[in-house]
Amino acid sequence: MATKQLKPITPGQRHRIAPVFDEVTAKKPLKSLTKGIDKSGGRNNNGRITMRRRGGGHKRRIRVIDFKRNKIGIPARVQTIEYDPNRTARIALLAYVDGEKRYILAPNKLQVGDTVISSETAAPEIGNAMPLKSMPLGTVIHNIEMQPGKGGQLCRSAGTAAQLVAKEGKLATVKLPSGEVRMVPSACFATIGSTSNPDHFNTTVGKAGRSRWLGRRPKVRGVAMNPVDHPMGGGEGKASGGHPRSPWGQAAKGKKTRNRKKLSSKFIVRRRKSKKA
């Protein structure tokens, strides 16, 4: 899982750093585990833009991913490692001994032919899923649940991983890639290892057209707009724009906007923006 520098035979390739798909072993997904997707272009049911800079892009099919890993005690063999256009990490197709097949997020260094299992008594080996209370301290994990049975929500993008740093009663303490340290119910499941495709963040798009293929439309700076369009717009000549603001007037670039009364604050031991010890 590396990257490659292309020969600059076109302007778009001059700064392009492309991913290498050496670990991918299948060209097409399993049809029974895919479904269509309706694109909204960032519009809501009234046709108004509620998410800016979305639209277009190549047609895709959703791969149904098992984030819950709830086939307890049934071993599975890794059949393929596949590319998923909907996420940065690779996915792995598991064939369970009872005949069922499911996609999971592929951990780094998981290979075709490996056996994985989801169990409270599983060995802490790459690809196995188990509750946090059953893991040894210091274990590197990904696809972490925040509520038991809800499915993994944390550490799902390429190359990310958290570390289990403490267990006390019904809560376990996890250090996330952002530097945040937070408590999670110890009954929550997580998968051993880090996610695949760690070199994803070393790639460069190379040209604007490739962003359009990914469904991303152009971004216009607030200072380049008119006053009616943005709080930082307007002015004579190249005005600086004043205080950094979002289009809706919320302070940006440093001012803390998190609600102090937010219920989840009690589970955060150290915020991601605090100075690391």
Strands in the chain per DSSP E: 3-5, 17-19, 34-35, 62-63, 76-82, 91-96, 101-105, 115-116, 129-131, 140-142, 144-145, 152-154, 162-168, 171-175, 181-185, 189-192, 268-270
pTM (2 d.p.): 0.91
Nearest Cα to 218, choosing from 85, 54, 87? 54
Predicted local confidence at residue 275, as pLDDT = 64
Amino acid at 218: P
CATH 4.10.950.10 placement within the chain: 224-271
Domain with CATH 2.40.50.140 in the chain: 3-201
- Round to whole Å and give the CA distance between 261 and 214: 37
Q: Please give the CATH superfamily to which domain 3-201 belongs.
A: Nucleic acid-binding proteins (2.40.50.140)
- What's the CATH architecture for 224-271? Irregular (4.10)
Each of the 277 residues of the chain gets a pLDDT tens digit; together they read: 589 999 999 999 999 999 999 999 999 999 999 999 999 999 999 999 999 999 999 999 999 999 999 999 999 999 999 999 999 999 999 999 999 999 999 999 999 999 999 999 999 999 999 999 999 999 999 999 999 999 999 999 999 999 999 999 999 999 999 999 999 999 999 999 999 999 999 999 999 999 999 999 999 999 999 999 999 999 988 887 889 999 999 999 988 888 989 999 999 999 987 765 5
Residue whose tokens read 């670990």 = 23
Amino acid at 135: M
